[in-house]
Amino acid sequence: MEVLLRNQWSSTTIFSPKLSNSTPPLPIQFLSLNPTSRSSSSFNLCTKLQLPSRFLPSVLNATQESQVGVEANNEIREWQMQDFYSLRKEVENISERVEEIRASAGLQQLEQELAALESKAADSSFWDDRARAQETLLSLTDIKDRIKLLAEFKSKVEDAETIVKITEEMDSIDTALLEEASSVIKELNKELDRFELTQLLAGPYDKEGAVITITAGAGGTDAQDWADMLLRMYVRWGEKQKYKTRVVEKSPGEEAGIKSATIEVEGRYAYGYLSGEKGTHRIVRQSPFNAKGLRQTSFSGVEVMPLLPEESTSVELPEEDLEISFSRAGGKGGQNVNKVETAVRITHIPTGVTVRCTEERSQLANKIKALSRLKAKLLVIALEQRASEIKQIRGDVVKAEWGQQIRNYVFHPYKLVKDVRTGIETSDIGSVMDGELEPFIKAYLKFKYTNTMTQSGQGV
């Protein structure tokens, strides 16, 4: 029995399955499938052949699946091409940006300065003046780091450009290569942003590490809890920047949180980045310590000073200007903790500036460290107030109370973090409390740089 399916199947002859031992195989002739009559063709074929319907749907389904697969592959390739074109544009943009940064950084001038400093360091009388030698070595290290960083920028751009060229020459797009290039571009953009920020840091201590002191202000237990939240925020920021962060002093509150804490952040430009965090930080939220869940406003003060080694602080403080007191250090463990008065508190009487040190095990070590921090704090205040001598400094105490805030953190009735100096704000308060401070730091440095340029122009 031979059946011809008109306008449905191509003229290819195949044999149908044997229905029984006595029945010969049936030759069937097919024409190309008409998409508009798929359902009717299946019905006609089964009807005319009087065959079980289980044989024919498999043929039709295979054809349909192959067409769907081709369409899906075309869509995937189209998406890949769009990703590739977008990546190629990003590579072109970042290549231009790197060239601009390398030109503005004065690479040739840096190389000349490096050669001059290396020649000076090789001189036989280099170590005759130890202080100047140390200063020269620091400058030498700084220039080497900058040249190395600029070279790394160019190398990473070239890697991304190579991936783009390889992809253009290939018949198909390798998604793994595109992801690698995208990752390089993303990381390079972050490094370029940070490099541009360092260009705004021109202060004498901006390259140093930082010491952050957090003190609970008005607000009772809520303020102490808020101080603890700020402590975690700055520790998380330091970790994300890959700085060495250490909590060196922490005074717990009576019910919750902390009364005060001190963090040391060791890393290049840590003080420059964090200097704008000095001031009062205000929080508005539903109090977890209020049985009625009422909205509560609390304050905490943040002070930032450079982490300077003892030999670099050439400041003489007369003994009569210092009020030194000793007390027992709080905390757990240690042979002398809670037994011997190892904690040291030093007040500079003319200015009222006070520092406290408790992390060392001996009273003498705490006194040395406290004096170093006091000198660093006075130097920074003198720089801010443009005082030529320490005795010209006015008292500089951060007042953690209403009207003094530099930044507001609103948790209720809506979510918002806003810097009152720069006006920058975000509703992603969770990320901010997890250490995402880059937008605020960048905005403040630009704000500070603009103000400095304006004042310089007015002075001229």
What is the pLDDT at residue 132?
82
200 token code pair: 């705004």
Strands (E) located in 113-221: 209-216
Contacts 24+ apart (CB under 8 A), 67-71: none
User: Are 42 and 49 a contacting pair, CB within 8 Å?
Assistant: no
Q: How far apart are CA 226 and CA 322, in angstroms?
A: 32
CA–CA distance, 261 with 245 (Å, rounded to integer): 13
Could you say which DSSP state residue 201 is in? -
Q: How many CB atoms lie within 10 A of CB 177?
A: 17
Q: How far is CA 435 from the centre of its chain?
A: 8
> Sheet containing 425-426: which strands, arranged edge to edge?
244-252, 258-266, 209-216, 295-307, 279-286, 405-410, 416-419, 425-426
Sort strands 258-266 and 209-216 into parallel, antiparallel or unpaired. antiparallel
Looking at residue 50, what is its pLDDT?
A: 47
Nearest C-alpha neighbor of 191 from the set 143, 146, 139, 144: 146
Confidence at residue 340, expressed as pLDDT on a 0 to 100 scale: 65
> How many angstroms from the chain centroid is the CA of residue 113?
32
The answer to whether 420 and 408 have CB atoms below 8 angstroms apart is yes
Burial zone of 21 (CB within 10 Å; 0-12 exposed, 13-18 middle, 19+ buried): exposed
End-to-end Cα distance, the chain: 107
CA distance 246 to 359: 11
With a cut of 50, list the residues of the chain below it in pLDDT. 1-23, 25-51, 53, 55, 333, 337, 392-395, 460
Q: Which residues pair with 377 in a beta bridge?
A: none
